[in-house]
Chain A
Amino acid sequence: MKGIVTSISGATVSVDLRGLQLYDRVYVGHARLSGEVVHLEKERTTVQVFEDTHGLSIGEPAVGARAPLTAVLGPGLLGGVYDGLQRPLQGLQRHSGDFIHSAGEIQSLDLQRSWDFIPHMQAGEQVNIGDQIGLVREGHLDHPIFAAFAGEIEQIAQGQVCLAEPLARLKDGQQLFGWQNWPVRRPRSQGRKCPAEKPLITGQRCIDFLFPMVKGGVAVIPGGFGTGKTVLEQTIAKFADSDVVIYVGCGERGNEMAGLLTEFGELRDANDRPLLERTIIIANTSNMPVAARESSIFTAVTMAEYYRDMGYDVLFLADSLSRWAEALREISSALEEIPGEEGYPTYLGSRLAKFIERAGVVKLASGKTGSLSMILAISPPGADFSEPVTQACLRAAGAFYMLDTGLAQSRHFPAINWTQSYSLLGSKAADYFRQQVDKRWTDLQRCCQDIMQQEDALREVVEVVGMEGLQDRDRLLMSVADRVRRDFLCQNSFSADAFSSPQQTVQLITSILDRYDHALKRLEDGVLLSDILQGESDAAG
């Protein structure tokens, strides 16, 4: 379908094409810049262009594709680094050098790469849609290949194959390939959703112990600038017990992506494989086109669902969802839509909720379960949590890790505020920890929270009367709370302490609490507080 460009304002372009659907892809100009339909009217169609429109002129050609933006799914995604449209960044670099210029289409998957295909079916067998016809090994994972059509298998490949060739042919002439296209804005709803039960072990004591996350759950991390969102997300990406990790740098810094790439290339996972092999990185930095930033989280979550549907535990991290919401706002205001709160479109909440709904645990036809967990950073303007994006996320998320500017400034990291954060996912996770790690898990947790709460109250007293005005019991409590904060809740991501297993976590808190009990007894026995504290600090130092 062909037409011409009729008006241009930044990345918003009107074309005279008719008969397109919302979100259909359109290529505009001689340079074939890609975009998608965002508004349909009788006389004109508005396209949001994913690339820089400098040099574009009205009257230039526009071509409608009658198909929406899709992600290419197949073996070879792991270890990849893509932009928001799933164009491989290494490919872009080969194409246009160190700086990104509009590049047209670049293959997302290397269809020529050869894979060792192990068929699970034979010629003559009947295959149904969704049946596994075989698998290839992708890094540390078995990557099953499912049938897209039903019929009788006439021929099936074995051994070295490349994705460009069909893996099987059916009697009626249909071909089964090892890859597929999927529209990024449509959830892949395979299998049946079921409740989340297993904890997602992040290795962060404050999270695992106080506000646990579950596989298939959604957590949000709001925090002002410099409070440690990115470091926390990246640390979790490194250590979380997931099969696949999808990391979206959504409208954030280029240097951070460079750091992530270097580090993930060097680090090894528990099976001594490069961390990059279980990771897919989507980088749409703040200076890359805004429309592609908006689509980046959909491209990424589609890849995440693809691996979930194989029965894997997938962790999806986005830094930062606020930048996505801002991209949505920019597009909306270019379309002159009626703005809602703070200029965000009124559909911000529903769009966000729909996206977050893509997380969860599914029971698959194969009998396996797969999970998609999300940990989403939010950057509220002026660290004010009452703003629309934080609020919309809060309504949809199960865990809330609030990063505190004050804590960050006193270099308490992770700066998770322990009075305001919460997890609604905790009870299931606690069952698991009680059974698998320590039966006192919940008691210890309560005890720890208790101490922190009491400390909070005592602090207010201290501000009036000074430390000297406190009773010995309370001063002891203050000193224990101090230890919990410094030795237990703080965790430097740049040290060996960056990851703490649930066993280590329990050990550490037990030793702090045992010592507290012991000290309390001695205090009752009449030992001087100063002697007890002295002994404590000798033991700690």
Chain B
Amino acid sequence: MRLAEHCYRSISAIRGPLVFVERVFSARIGETVTLVAPNGQLLEGEVLKIDTEQVLIQVFGETYGLDLEKTTVTFHDSVKRAPLSRQCLGRIFNGSFKPLDDAPMYIPESWGAVSGAPINPVAREFPHEMIETGISAIDGLNSLIKGQKLPIFSCAGLPAQELVAQILSSARLPGEGDFVVVFVALGLSYHEYSFFRETLEKMPSRFVAFFNLAGEAVVERLLAPRLGLTIAEDLAFNHGMDVLAIISDMTNYCDALREISTSREELPGRRGYPGYMYSDLASLYERAGRLHGRAGSVTMLPVLTMPEDDITHPIPDLTGYVTEGQIVLSREMQQKGIFPPIDVLPCLSRLMQSGIGEGLTRADHRQVANLLYQTYAKGRELRKLEAVVGKEGLLEEDRVVLTMADEFEKRFVHQGKARRDIFQTLDLGRELLKEYKVELT
């Protein structure tokens, strides 16, 4: 421990969001610093690297006004922390935790290190209850389970933000419990920002939101999800709440990671993204979970845009390697006017089995889901065949399956702005199966 804060005016270089300071006495890795620009502007930063000559600092915010001569750097002898309190509920912040809602900052009960700490695997409880998103294609066929991380893979131009807004306002627990949403938006356009502000306005105050806009500092995009998750962990594990953390858009996060890695002159990996991107994404996604003997849970729903609609691009690929399934949006569904435009074939919730069925959702859930999926998958196969041999070339029973696939998209996947609870979803599924004489056993 040092006794006083140290202040320096010995910056040797500024490179993008990175600042090099010389002759610093005992800086610590991860220590926070404050920079004061000549015009009085305040910026925060964090120590990344230390050697005998200099200290490397990553600045959260725009480094425009900084210079070498007059800018001062103060070292605070503590790591970056987030202010914790239940008072955060109903509040809206920017990417460095400044209120955007005109209310004053609350007085924290305690502070939590934003980098978090890994959950000890033996302390983890296996996820086993469902969160109802109100979306049939998710709840019915790819259920989201408390403690799971389930990403949404979108394509540029698809209404992912509308889907997020719908889930934001309609997600809840099917049973008892204290449910809140932590929403972190990264690299939003102003238009999207106002859209989300409107959505939040209409919601009861069971949320905390963080907004980083497209014009704002890139480094903040790395910070904001960590602030959000630190808050989420506190609400979940210290206050016993079931927290759904929605982070959108992770593609902006990854691009920020790449940008900063490049300015650090690190060796680029696939498509220029840093080699440690898997570990970095895991340090966020793995913060979802439940703990033995404690109420509360952190469930994560990250949203990302697949560059060039390519699911093998490093961003969706590495995300898929960390998360527990995926919800995939497709252009084809969008063109058919289906909302949400979810293509259920490549979707999967890997933890679904442990969260549904008798006593959790409904006894017939598993069977309804399997039959719908199988029949629809068969219908999609037949569509390909139909394109070759024509409808006439198909057997009568196959034509029925084809119609059913169409109806499934139109009535089950498509739901517009309506919210469906899990029973409505399952009843609708049964109705479809019955109409097309697919038998439940």
Please report A residues at the B interface, Cβ cutoff 8 Å: 6-10, 14, 52-59, 81, 89-90, 92-93, 96-101, 224-226, 249, 251, 253-255, 257-259, 261-262, 283, 285-288, 290, 323, 326, 329-330, 333, 339, 342-343, 379, 381-384, 409-411, 463, 466, 468, 494
Q: Which of A90, A329, A379, A468 contacts B393 (CB 8 A)?
A: A468
Quick one: given A55-B30, A466-B385, are A254 and B286 in contact (CB under 8 Å)? Answer: yes
Q: How many A-B contacts are there with CB distance less than 8 Å? A: 185
CB-based closest 8 A-B pairs: A382-B312, A7-B51, A286-B282, A258-B124, A225-B320, A54-B30, A98-B123, A287-B286
The interface bits of chain B over 254-279 (1 if a CB of A lies within 8 angstroms of the residue's CB, else 0) are 00000000000011111000011011
Q: CB < 8 Å: which of A89, A343, A379, A384 contacts B122? A: A89
Given contact pairs A10-B48, A97-B123, enumerate 19 new A-B contacts (beta carbons under 8 Å). A9-B51, A55-B29, A55-B30, A56-B29, A57-B29, A58-B51, A81-B122, A92-B120, A99-B116, A99-B117, A255-B127, A255-B351, A258-B125, A285-B282, A287-B282, A290-B276, A323-B278, A330-B276, A383-B312
* A466/B388 in contact, CB under 8 A: yes
Known: A258-B124, A258-B126. A410 touches B275 (CB 8 A): no
In the assembled complex, B148 has its CB within 8 A of some CB on chain A: yes
In this complex, what residue of A is CB-closest to B27?
Answer: A57
**Interface residues of B toward A: which range?**
35 or more
Inside 8 A of B279's CB, which chain A residues have their CB? Answer: 251, 286-287, 290, 326, 330
A408 vs B127: C-alpha distance when bound (angstroms): 23
* Cross-chain pairs A/B with CB under 8 angstroms, 19 sampled: A8-B50, A9-B50, A54-B29, A58-B50, A81-B121, A89-B120, A98-B294, A99-B123, A224-B317, A249-B121, A254-B289, A255-B124, A286-B278, A287-B282, A326-B275, A381-B317, A382-B313, A382-B317, A466-B389
Cβ–Cβ < 8 Å partners of A494 in chain B? 353
In whole angstroms, what is the CA distance A157 to B291 when docked? 44
Residues of B within 8 A of A411 (CB): 373, 377
Instruction: Tell me the smallest distance from the CB of A416 to a CB of chain B, in Å.
Output: 18
Which residues of chain B are near A14, meaning CB under 8 Å?
51
Minimum CB–CB distance from B231 to chain A (whole Å) comes to: 16
Is there an interface contact between A257 and B50, defined as CB atoms closer than 8 Å?
no
Taking A261-B121, A409-B345, A466-B388 as contacts, is the C-beta distance between A342 and B269 under 8 angstroms? yes
CB contact list, B26-71 vs A, under 8 A: 26-31, 48-52
Please give, as numbers and ranges, the residues of chain B lying within 8 Å of A330 by CB-CB distance: 275-276, 279
On whether the beta carbons of B29 and A98 are closer than 8 Å, the reply is no
Q: Identify A93's interface contact among B120, B276, B282, B351, CB under 8 A.
A: B120
List residues of chain A with CB within 8 A of the CB of B377: 410-411
Among the listed A93, A226, A259, which residue makes an inter-chain contact with B126, where contact means beta carbons less than 8 Å apart? Answer: A259
Partner of A58, one of B26, B269, B313: B26
Q: Are A53 and B29 in contact (CB under 8 A)?
A: yes
| A230-B317 Cα distance, complex, nearest whole Å | 17
- Rounded to whole angstroms, the CA-CA distance of A174 and B237 in the bound complex is 52
| Closest A residue to B320 using CB positions | A225
Q: B30 contacts which chain A residues (CB < 8 A)? A: 53-55
Beta-carbon contacts under 8 Å, B72-128 to A: 79, 113, 115-127
Q: Which residues of A contact B389 (CB under 8 A)?
A: 466, 468
B415: interface (CB < 8 Å):
no
Q: Which of B161-169, B184-192, B321-329 contacts A (4 or more CB under 8 A)?
A: B321-329
Q: Are A285 and B118 in contact (CB under 8 A)?
A: yes
A97 to B118, CA, bound (A): 11
| Residues 270-303 of chain B, each 1 if its beta carbon lies under 8 Å from chain A, else 0 | 1000011011001100110101101000000000
Contact of A59 among B26, B120, B278 (CB under 8 A): B26
User: In the complex, what's the smallest C-beta–C-beta distance from A316 to chain B, in angstroms?
Assistant: 19
Most chain B beta-carbon neighbours within 10 Å: one of A333, A381, A463: A381
Contact with A333, one of B267, B278, B289 (Cβ below 8 angstroms) = B267
- B122 and A93 form a contact (CB under 8 A): yes
**A339 lies within 8 A of B291 (CB):** no
Residue of A nearest to B268 (CB): A343
Contacts of A249 in B (CB 8 A): 121
Q: Are A225's CB and B353's CB within 8 A?
A: no
Q: Which of A99, A333, A342 is the most central at the interface, judged by chain B CB atoms within 10 Å of its CB?
A: A99
